[in-house]
């Protein structure tokens, strides 16, 4: 019982953890997916905005330099271009280089360290004029670092003279990107943390009433039928709690009614058992009374005849008419009548003694020692009035001096009920048969086999013969309590065992094993 309860509790605990964890996991992973999706959309957008800011800066610088350089190129003032661009590079820490490329291949390169002139431009510096702007981040060996390289057209009065290329430091860009990643990451972590707390509280809010309802069901399962759910929330779980309490009330009412009916049934069954015992005793009294009536009647008749004979002899004596032959005839007749009276009085005494012992034992629960063979004889003698109305012969096969220290009243009831059961169910009216009682001493037990050669018991009925109120003679006065009483007396009163063996058509046998002493 305990291990089963513990197993049930552990399973319930695992289910409880599963419900909570599943709800929490669903909410948490849904939130995690939403945050991840938001971050995946936000980071490229922010990074693009930072890059656009860099492009705007580069375009502004390029536009200013291009305007001045275009005018200087028209005038042929290349020294002014060099001076101006070197000044721009030196003053603006974000500008790493400025490259002026004319369409004819003339190139001026300005860095923070120096400026150079070349007539062989890099092919990448000759950019397609159809593009509004061209900028990209890459490693430029000119300054030996990653730069944002931006290209801007050199034009004046509608004439395209070439291209202006500037290289901007990406330190600020990287810093902004790093700050963006950190900010979004921190926000994501805080959102995930707060989301996890919210998921925990939400899952707890959902599972708490379920767990409360589960605890109530566990209390009812463990026998506390007065337990009721205290969940009172305005949702489906609250409705479930209300329905559960209604069901528990009806269950309690039903169980109370069943217990009441069971007690009434037990009381009725007890009364029926006692009635059955008293009916059996009543039949015994009626049978013994009928049996005693014959010898007592003969004794009364013989006594009356002896009285008349004695009065006649007395009259002869008083008249002095007594003769020897008359006196001898009287003595002979008186002796014969006295023998008849004594014989029938002895028979009556035996019947009364047998009835007194058996009836006293059946109405008493006292324990005493008794001789099994002798007591079986008394029981059969008490049943003789019932047996005389049948063609059934009883046989007792029992060794002498088997003494049983037990309850003779229960023993008499057992043997009586089994014999009457055989008479009622084993044979038809007027049918010949034999009921044998074989007793053996097996050491610490006495084995009694009561067997008849009657109809037998169908196999499908063998498992039900000891059940209360089971009988195949319901319409013929059977109560279904005879063998049930036998079973209870053997197993409870006498601490023994009883089994039945039967083949339909070949009779039935009851094997009883009783301890020598209880």
Spatial distance between the Cα atoms of 188 and 205, rounded to a whole number of angstroms: 25
HEC profile of 90-121: HHCCCEEEEEEEECCCCEEEEECCCEEEECCC
Indicate whether 287 pLDDT > 60.
no
Q: Find, among 465, 502, 463, 509, the residue nearest to 484 by Cα.
A: 465
Reported as a single tens digit per residue, the pLDDT across 192-213 is 898 889 888 887 777 777 778 7
Spatial distance between the Cα atoms of 191 and 34, rounded to a whole number of angstroms: 10
Q: In whole angstroms, how large is the CA radius of gyration of the chain?
A: 61
- pTM of the prediction? 0.44
Phi-psi region of 93 (alpha: psi -120 to 50; beta: other; left: phi over 0): alpha
Cα-based angle 88, 92, 94 (whole degrees, multiple of 5): 125
pLDDT band at 69 (very low <50, low <70, confident <90, very high): confident
The per-residue pLDDT for 3 is 42
Q: Which two tokens stand for residue 330?
A: 């009287």
Q: Which two tokens stand for residue 86?
A: 């070197």
Would you tell me how many other CB atoms lie within 10 Å of the CB of residue 75? 9
* CA torsion, ordered 83, 88, 93, 98, to nearest 10 deg: -80
Q: Find, among 417, 427, 362, the residue nearest to 393 by Cα.
A: 427
Q: Could you tell me which residues come within 8 angstroms of residue 161 by beta carbon, excluding any fewer than 6 positions away?
A: 70, 73, 74, 102, 103, 154, 155
DSSP class of residue 467 equals S
With tokens 């055989």, the residue in question is 422
| Range with top average pLDDT, 6-10, 262-266, 339-343, 464-468 | 464-468
The per-residue pLDDT for 500 is 92
pLDDT band at 510 (very low <50, low <70, confident <90, very high): very high
Indicate whether 129 pLDDT > 60.
no
Reported as a single tens digit per residue, the pLDDT across 215-255 is 888 887 887 777 777 777 777 777 777 787 888 788 888 88
């Amino acid at each position: 019982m305990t291990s089963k309860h513990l197993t049930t509790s552990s399973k319930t605990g695992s289910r409880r953890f599963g419900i909570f964890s599943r709800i929490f996991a669903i909410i948490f992973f849904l939130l995690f997916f939403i945050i991840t999706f938001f971050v995946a959309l936000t980071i490229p957008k922010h990074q693009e905005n930072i890059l656009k800011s860099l492009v705007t800066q580069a375009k502004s610088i390029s536009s200013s330099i291009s305007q001045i350089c275009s005018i200087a190129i028209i005038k042929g003032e290349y020294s002014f271009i060099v001076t101006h661009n070197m000044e721009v590079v030196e003053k603006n820490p974000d500008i790493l280089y400025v490259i002026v490329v004319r369409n004819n291949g003339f190139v001026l390169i300005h860095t923070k360290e120096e400026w150079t002139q070349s007539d062989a431009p890099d092919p990448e510096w000759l950019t397609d004029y159809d593009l509004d702007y061209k900028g990209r981040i890459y490693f430029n060996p000119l300054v030996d670092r990653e730069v944002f390289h931006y290209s801007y057209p050199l034009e004046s009065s509608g004439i395209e003279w070439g291209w202006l290329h500037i290289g901007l430091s990406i330190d600020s860009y990287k810093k902004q990107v790093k700050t963006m990643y950190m900010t979004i990451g921190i926000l994501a972590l805080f959102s995930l943390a707060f989301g996890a707390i919210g998921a925990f509280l939400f899952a707890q809010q959902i599972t708490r009433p379920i767990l409360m309802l589960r605890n109530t069901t566990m209390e009812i399962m463990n026998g506390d039928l007065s337990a009721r759910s205290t969940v009172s929330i305005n949702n489906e779980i609250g409705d479930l709690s209300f329905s559960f309490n209604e069901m528990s009330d009806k269950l309690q009412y039903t169980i109370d009614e069943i217990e009441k009916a069971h007690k009434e049934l037990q009381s009725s069954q007890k009364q029926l058992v006692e009635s059955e015992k008293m009916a059996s005793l009543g039949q015994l009294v009626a049978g013994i009374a009928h049996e005693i009536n014959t010898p007592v009647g003969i004794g009364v008749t013989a006594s009356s005849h002896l009285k008349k004979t004695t009065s006649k002899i007395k009259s002869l004596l008083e008249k002095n008419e007594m003769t020897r032959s008359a006196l001898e005839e009287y003595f002979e007749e008186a002796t014969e009548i006295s023998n008849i009276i004594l014989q029938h009085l002895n028979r009556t005494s035996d019947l009364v003694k047998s009835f007194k012992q058996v009836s006293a034992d059946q109405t008493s629960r006292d324990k005493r020692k008794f001789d099994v063979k002798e007591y079986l004889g008394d029981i059969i003698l008490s049943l003789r009035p019932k047996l005389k109305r049948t063609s059934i012969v009883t046989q007792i096969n029992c060794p002498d001096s088997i003494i049983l220290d037990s309850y003779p009243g229960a023993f008499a009831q057992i043997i009586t009920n089994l014999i009457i059961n055989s008479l009622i169910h084993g044979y038809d009216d007027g049918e010949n048969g034999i009921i044998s009682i074989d007793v053996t001493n097996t050491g610490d037990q006495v084995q009694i086999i009561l067997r008849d050669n009657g109809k037998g018991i169908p196999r499908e009925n063998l498992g039900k013969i000891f059940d209360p109120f089971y009988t195949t003679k319901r319409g013929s006065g059977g109560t279904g309590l005879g063998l049930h009483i036998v079973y209870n007396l053997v197993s409870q009163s006498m601490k023994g065992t009883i089994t039945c063996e039967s083949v339909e058509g070949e009779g039935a046998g009851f094997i009883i094993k009783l301890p020598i002493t209880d």
